[in-house]
Chain A
Amino acid sequence: MDFGRSDRSAARKKAPSAIKILIAGGFGAGKTTMVGAVSETAPLRTEETLTDRSVGVDDISGVEAKHTTTVAMDFGRITIKDQYVLYLFGTPGQERFWFVWDELALGALGAVVLADTRKLADCFPSVDFFERRGTPFVVAVNCFDGARIYALDEVRLALGLDSSVPVVLCDARKRNSGKEVLINLVQHAMRTRGKRPRPEGVPAS
């Protein structure tokens, strides 16, 4: 271990603030692509065991039954001046994993919902979830080749979005486009700050 040279300085340095942002959306909407495009490194992958809070009370014992599910998540990192580290987590897209988002969304700055206009309905569950939870989110319309170009207002209408929720076009493969989406999200989170339910982590009923 090379502690001689670094003189254990890492431990004495102040830790950066770690921030979590979720990248959600339906199956194949471009979540992993976006994480990779804006991150410092290729997307990393980790397996996380999450608790299914949607499981009801166990009839026999009367205690809450705890079910756990293992999900694989892609994530990436953006370091900002050694002061902040943004972690972008691609949430598992499959419908049966909705419940695990609750644990992931805890303490998150906000979320990007990627919408694929060829199957717009796929992002309904994500939109619903973040709305109910009060997590600030933006909708990023991913421009796939050959997809009909929708006006952003059409998308807003189709998703039944509140007028305050930003809807932006993006190309998940392009770093600059992903950056713009994230900037939009942070600006939106700043605007809605204080209007959020507190404390965080209490699941919306």
Chain B
Amino acid sequence: MTPAEGPTEDRWLDDEAGPIVRPYVMTRGRTEPTRGKFDLISLVVATRPTAALEVGLGPEHLTILRLCEEFLSVAEIAARMDLPAGTIRVLLGDLLDRDFIEVSEPHPETDMDDDCFYQAVIDGLRSL
């Protein structure tokens, strides 16, 4: 799944500049999200329907919302959009800021303090 690219963006996409410039334009040069930490395995879900034209949201934001109708990890969003995880984090920060998404952070301390957790995972693996 590749986000739609307008003719203006295409002009940036020569062989050398492409992979660097495209994410840079998408995030308007930001490297850190304004909100949220976003672990690679944080799970993201869209909270509400979004009209195609929302002020301040780009095509990549809308693609993320479409992918996240069901819970999807940051790593999977990045892989499916073929963008670096860092770029996805910035875009997710924008969406979180405007309550378009909910984020469920991993909580290894609680999970891994419970024997039931391990047993459930073992049983689950056995029955695959």
Contact = CB atoms under 8 A, between A and B. Distances in A.
Interface string A8-37: 101101011111100000000000000000
A56 B117 CA distance: 39
A80 B125 contact: yes
Contacts of B41: 18-20, 85, 87
A77 interface: yes
27 contacts: A1-B49, A2-B69, A3-B69, A10-B70, A11-B45, A11-B46, A15-B43, A16-B43, A19-B111, A19-B121, A20-B108, A44-B76, A46-B84, A48-B84, A48-B86, A49-B86, A78-B124, A80-B125, A84-B124, A89-B40, A89-B75, A183-B126, A186-B121, A186-B122, A187-B118, A193-B113, A193-B118
Contacts of A83: 120, 124
A124 to B, nearest CB: 26
Interface string B76-107: 10111000111000000000000000101011
B108 to A, nearest CB: 4
Interface residues of A, number: 46
Interface string A42-53: 001111110000
B29 to A, nearest CB: 15
B75 A87 contact: yes
Contacts of A187: 118, 122
B86 A46 contact: no
A200 interface: yes
Interface in A47-101: 47-49, 70, 75, 77-78, 80-81, 83-87, 89
A47 B85 contact: yes
Nearest to A48: B85
Interface residues of B, number: 46
Given A10-B70, A48-B86, A109-B108, A186 B45 contact: no
A29 to B, nearest CB: 22
Contacts of A20: 40-41, 106, 108
Nearest to A44: B79
A85 to B, nearest CB: 7
Given A84-B120, A193-B112, A10 B71 contact: yes
Contacts of B50: 1
